[in-house]
Copies of this chain bind each other. A is one copy, B any other.
Amino acid sequence: MSAPILHGGGITEAAARYGGRLEDWLDLSTGINPCPVALPPVPERAWHRLPDRQTVDDARLAAAVYYRTNGVLPLPVPGTQSVIQLLPRLMQFNAAAEPRSGSRVALFGPTYGEYARVLAAAGFSVDPVEDASAIEPGHGLAIIVNPNNPTGRSFRPADILAIAARLKANGGALLVDEAFGDLEPELSVAGHVREQGNLVVFRSFGKFFGLAGLRLGFVVAPEPVLAAFAEWLGPWAVSGPALTVSKALMQGDTKAIAAGILERRAGLDAVLDGAGMTRIGGTGLFVLVEHRHAVRLHEALCAAHILTRKFDYAPTWLRIGLAPDAEGDRRLADALCRMER
């Protein structure tokens, strides 16, 4: 069993170490919209009954429109993590479908740590790559997070499709994780899945809508891959409330949600710039800061009961998420101001 990764969101542990009541901490350690959208009413039926075909189909149709999939009905899954866990099976599935498919994985990084952890634990070689030229015939799967977490690096769809085409020539597949893609729909390749044939797209519902506790993601992929994921997850993998809430919200005013996030992001930028911090990347939902003493900065913020995200592999990086309001911005500004830099 591989060592667990230290993710954001560990407020309980942080409060145990640095003191303070849970509710008094300012959690900037995740990339989740800090202003959760108002929940649409959840019918009693959604809690009570197993999710029926109609409920699932309704959510899939709403997701097809929202993610602009060109007719592919996305598969709802209980969080993107649940399908990351299934990537070792996808490797075997691809190898069975495409006898020439390689058994190594090319991971565009540095990126979200769970990809390397899950695949390495299952015995696959994971090669960190920085650009398309590093992809070799032995790579049965390449993984791109677009835009990337935590760097914010983004790939244009044309470049992604070129990488997919290159992998296809050797029986390989390309997985694009668009978990932070809602604010930049022009980057998405979800609409190219059907024509491309070896492209799999993961979408995360909870980050943009601020409902990470719901545990919901969607997979956009060719039909055989969707059928395989559905089979591996088994029936009723997603909760009824997640299906009904997501349908309503994807059909609602998503532009207002995006505007709210960008306003919060502007607030964060102003605080960081005011404190003389160096922003080196990010997405709409977080900023990546470079700082000579990022670990010390992390600790000093913890002492002020503000949790950010540090990285073992990059000791000069700090990822800072959005505060829920201007008061949160001020609190961060004050804490940064009081520190020696």
Contact = CB atoms under 8 A, between A and B. Distances in A.
Contacts of A9: 49-50, 52
A7 B39 CA distance: 31
Given A1-B228, A52-B11, A241-B241, A46 B236 contact: no
A45 B235 contact: no
A236 B81 contact: yes
Given A228-B1, A231-B1, A242-B239, A213 B30 contact: no
A214 B239 contact: yes
Interface string A212-237: 11110000000000011001111111
Contact of A82 (B1, B13, B53, B233): B233
A32 B49 contact: yes
Which among A49, A81, A85 has the highest number of chain B CB atoms within 10 Å?
A49
Contacts of A114: 234-235
Interface in A264-316: none
A304 to B, nearest CB: 20
A48 B211 contact: yes
Interface residues of A, number: 56
B237 A78 contact: yes
A44 B46 CA distance: 18
Contacts of A125: none
B215 A239 contact: yes
A227 to B, nearest CB: 6
A158 B81 CA distance: 40
22 contacts: A1-B228, A4-B235, A7-B235, A27-B49, A32-B49, A36-B44, A45-B213, A48-B212, A48-B213, A50-B206, A50-B212, A78-B239, A79-B236, A81-B235, A82-B233, A84-B234, A85-B233, A114-B235, A212-B240, A214-B239, A215-B239, A239-B241
The 5 closest A-B pairs by CB, nearest first: A213-B240, A36-B48, A12-B54, A12-B53, A215-B239
